[in-house]
Amino acid sequence: MQVELLDYTSDAEYRIGLMAAECYDSNKEREACLRRAKSCKDSGHLATLRFAYATLRVSDISRVCSHQLVRHAHLSYLQRSQRYVKEEDIVYCDPIAVNTLPQNLEAWWKTLQDSSEELYLRLVNDKVMKKEDARFILPQGCSTSVTVTGNLQAWFDFVNLRTGKHAQAEIRDVALEIQKQLREVVAPNIFA
- As annotated, the active-site residues are 162
Distance CA 90, CA 103 (A): 22
**Is the separation of the CB atoms in 70 and 26 below 8 Å?**
no
* Sheet containing strand 76-79, strands side by side: 2-8, 53-62, 143-151, 76-79
**Alpha helices by DSSP H, 126-192:** 131-134, 152-162, 169-181
Which of 115, 184, 190, 129 has the alpha carbon at shortest distance from 159? 190
Q: CB-based burial of residue 165 (10 Å sphere; 0-12 exposed, 13-18 middle, 19+ buried)?
A: exposed
